[in-house]
Amino acid sequence: MSLHNKICLVTGASRGIGRGIALALGSEGATVYITGRTLELSSKAPGSLNITAEEVNARGGVAIPVQCDHGVDEEIHRLFDKIKKDHGRIDLLVNNAFKGVGTIGKNTAIPFWEQEKESWDDVIHVGLRCHFIASQGAAKMMVTQKDGLIVNISSAGALFNFFTTPYGVGKAGLDKMSEMCGKELKQHNVTCLSLWPGLVQTEAIVASKESLEKKKGAGVKIDVSKGETVEYAGRAIVGLMNDKNLLAKTAKTITTADLGSEYGFIDVDGRTHHSMRCVKAGVAMKHPWLAALIPAFIKVPWAWLVAMVHHYY
């Protein structure tokens, strides 16, 4: 088990990507603090911290569930005080907590000027601001120990127009935070980066499958069946934790699929995912027969992709 004795924290791990990341880390023997507001299963939403903890332990990891509202600074501070008291160090922070799922669902079809202020507050407060507070807590320990990794779970919504204006602002801000924090931390041998999963088969996405597949995000038809499982991002992070040249990735934004290609891992169901930069994947959206003739290794450089969609002149 490659992460035995590693102390990790995954925020927002009751369900979705956070749960999947915790399971992948547990499979490698890590000690994983998992946070969220839902400690016990309820009728309000699927999953809970205690259920995730049981699954992590069954995989061979050590789960430590901590009920925490990441919208309250004092609770985040107490969380890091606990980790420091229990272990004196932290090797990995995954900033994944996000309050905006319900808000986004209610506001996607509403112009920004007609949305309630919660459309902004839910996404930015627990989805950007709380990640800054958590990164401060982790960085204080990591700088002292001269080692560590902070992963901010972002998305292509930072670059393309997905969902709502606050969603795009939040993800773009998170990527910029990763860049600037990563540059400051590099001299201390600490890495900070943004990770973009693709479409992920979370409980919320699967439940909304029918309505999502009737729409187009950024002009692309959505097919939930081709989405990543919730554990794929976790496998990407396990790869990062075992990367001997990890510091070279600090301050960067990286996709899970690109890491799958680099590190040679596949999804838990045996599928291989292609990066959004992959020409083959792009062509397949409209011309599957032609895509079959294109090698998967041909990718559009990041700079070209940004230039094609960016709003700066």
What is the average pLDDT across 35-56? 88
The partner residues of 8 in beta bridges, in order of sequence, read: 32, 92
Of the candidates 262, 268, 269, 253, the one whose C-alpha atom is nearest the C-alpha of residue 305 is 253
pLDDT single digits (tens) 72-105: 999 999 999 999 999 999 999 999 999 988 888 8
pLDDT single digits (tens) 101-132: 888 888 988 999 999 999 999 999 999 999 99
Residue-wise DSSP of 156-175: GGGTS--S-HHHHHHHHHHH
Tell me if 93 sits within 8 A of 136, measured CB to CB.
Answer: no
Query: How many CB atoms are located within 10 Å of the residue 118 CB?
Result: 16
pLDDT at 290: 74
Tell me if 185 sits within 8 A of 143, measured CB to CB.
Answer: yes
Question: Has residue 222 got a pLDDT over 80?
Answer: no
The residues near 186 (Cβ < 8 Å, ≥ 6 apart) are 247, 250, 251
pLDDT at 211: 65
The catalytic residue positions are 167
The two tokens of residue 178 are 């990763």
pLDDT single digits (tens) 230-261: 999 999 999 999 999 999 999 999 999 999 99
pTM of the predicted model as reported, rounded to 2 decimal places: 0.91
Whole-number percent of the chain with pLDDT over 70: 88
If one compares 201 and 130, the residue with the highest pLDDT of the two is 130
Question: Has residue 145 got a pLDDT over 70?
Answer: yes
Percent helix, strand, coil in the chain, to 5, is 50, 15, 35
pLDDT at 202: 84
Question: Has residue 307 got a pLDDT over 80?
Answer: no
